[in-house]
Amino acid sequence: MVKQFRNMAMPYIVWMVAIIVLPMLLIVLYAFTDKGNDVTTIRFSLENFARFFSDTVFMSVLKRSLYIAILTTVICILLGYPIAYAIASRSERSKLFWILLITLPTWINMLVRTYAWMGILQDEGVVNHLLGFLGIPPITMIHTTFAVVLGMVYNFIPFMILQIYTALTKMDKSFLEAASDLGANAVQSFLRITLPLSIPGVISGITLVFLPAVSSFFIPKLLGGGQYVLIGNVIETEFLTSGDWNFGSAISLAMAVIIMVSMYITKKVDTDPGANGRRE
* Model pLDDT, residue 181: 81
CA 67 to chain centre: 13
91 CB-near residues (< 8 Å, 6+ apart): none
Give the domain ranges of the chain. 55-276
C-beta separation of 161 from 83 below 8 A: yes
What is the reported pLDDT for 160? 95
pLDDT of 151 reads 94
Q: What is the pLDDT of residue 34?
A: 82
CATH class for the region spanning 55-276: mainly alpha
Mean pLDDT, contiguous 10-residue spans, the chain (280 residues): 71 85 89 68 83 91 92 96 93 90 90 90 86 85 90 95 93 84 85 90 92 89 82 89 89 89 77 46
| Confidence (pLDDT) at 228 | 77
Amino acid at site 18 = A
pLDDT of the residue at 279: 41
Which helix H or strand E contains 161, and what residues bound it?
helix 145-169
Distance, CA of 118 to CA of 180 (rounded, Å): 49
pLDDT of residue 277: 44
- Residue 2 has a pLDDT of 62
Let me know: does 179 contact 258? Beta carbons within 8 Å.
no
